[in-house]
Amino acid sequence: MYLSLIIPCFNEESCLPLFYDEIIKVIESINEQVEFIFVDDGSKDNTLNILREFGSKDNRVHYVSFSRNFGKEAAMLAGLQTAQGKYVAILDADLQHPPSMIPKMLETAINEKYDCIVGKRNRKGDPLLRSFFAKCFYRIISVLAGIEVVDGAGDFRLMTDAYVKAVLKLEERNRFSKGIYPWVGFRTKYIDYENVERAIGTTKWSFFKLFSYSLDGITAFSTKLLSLASIMGILSSCFSIALFILLVIRKLFWGVSVDGWTTIVCCIIFFSGIILLSIGILGYYNAKMYTEIKQRPQYIVKEAQ
């Protein structure tokens, strides 16, 4: 097998026929053996039946269907573990990742000897607030994790089998692929493409889900938040000492005593917030360790072909 195409799917009934027609046209320009690996992430619509139909008509089509929704990270992992190709590409079925770029990515990897070719989208058309928070996240995680996580570089990429093997060596349960890809290294090239809307339907990523995903990414690749909790504790202690000295000086030299109720309540709220935030950070990391220790499978396959 020369090229493996991994397509994660979750309730993509409306997009799949259009995607399949589009990808078949693109693959015709590649004079190599190709396999399609559709990963059905516990869809509740007619996605699995459509994949069965694809498989019955095209022996290049394979699919893996989960017993329930395990998330896109698990779907991509299953695809990487299944792929047999010398080159492996990941792209979404909603056509936000242009299939037409696959031949160019493959040609670049072969001719220029790159291990990974990444589709880097611009944020044209995205809401301004969402774009702002996304850029902030990429800057923060790059600083905290000590690796360059490029803004706009997502899961749309083509990799060599050596690169895929390196990615699969990272066996953590709390996977954050945007961090795993740059962490393993290798020669990587980014190719820009225009941001496009989904072919059909709307995105399943709400702001809250994106925030949760970003928090998972930061905690998966950096322990500096734990240091932040300690720093906040030190700063709050210094603040309380400085405030105590100031109050003593005011009383001794000017005979001014601080107002009681308001000051006490404000101090209690301030320090309680720091304590709860620090406990929350510790709890989040402990929850991650709890998940890793249990060693549960990252997905369960219900049906595969």
Q: Tens digit of pLDDT for each residue in 5-56? A: 888 888 877 788 888 888 888 888 777 788 888 888 888 888 888 888 888 8
Bridge partners, residue 89, by sequence: 5, 158
Tell me the H-state helices in the chain: 16-27, 47-57, 72-82, 102-111, 128-145, 161-168, 177-184, 207-221, 224-249, 260-294
Q: Dump pLDDT digits (tens) for 165-207.
A: 888 888 877 788 877 888 888 888 888 777 666 555 555 555 6
Burial per residue of 47-84, b for 16 or more beta-carbon CB atoms within 10 angstroms, e otherwise:
bbebbbebbeeeeebbbbbbeebbbbbbbbbbbbebbe
Domain map of the chain by residue range? 3-222, 224-294
pTM attached to this predicted model: 0.75
Instruction: Using CA atoms of 239, 242, 248, 253 in order, give the dihedral in degrees to the nearest 10.
Output: -130
Q: Dump pLDDT digits (tens) for 50-90.
A: 888 888 888 888 888 888 888 888 888 888 888 888 888 88
- Classify 290 as helix, strand or coil: helix
Class of domain 3-222: alpha beta
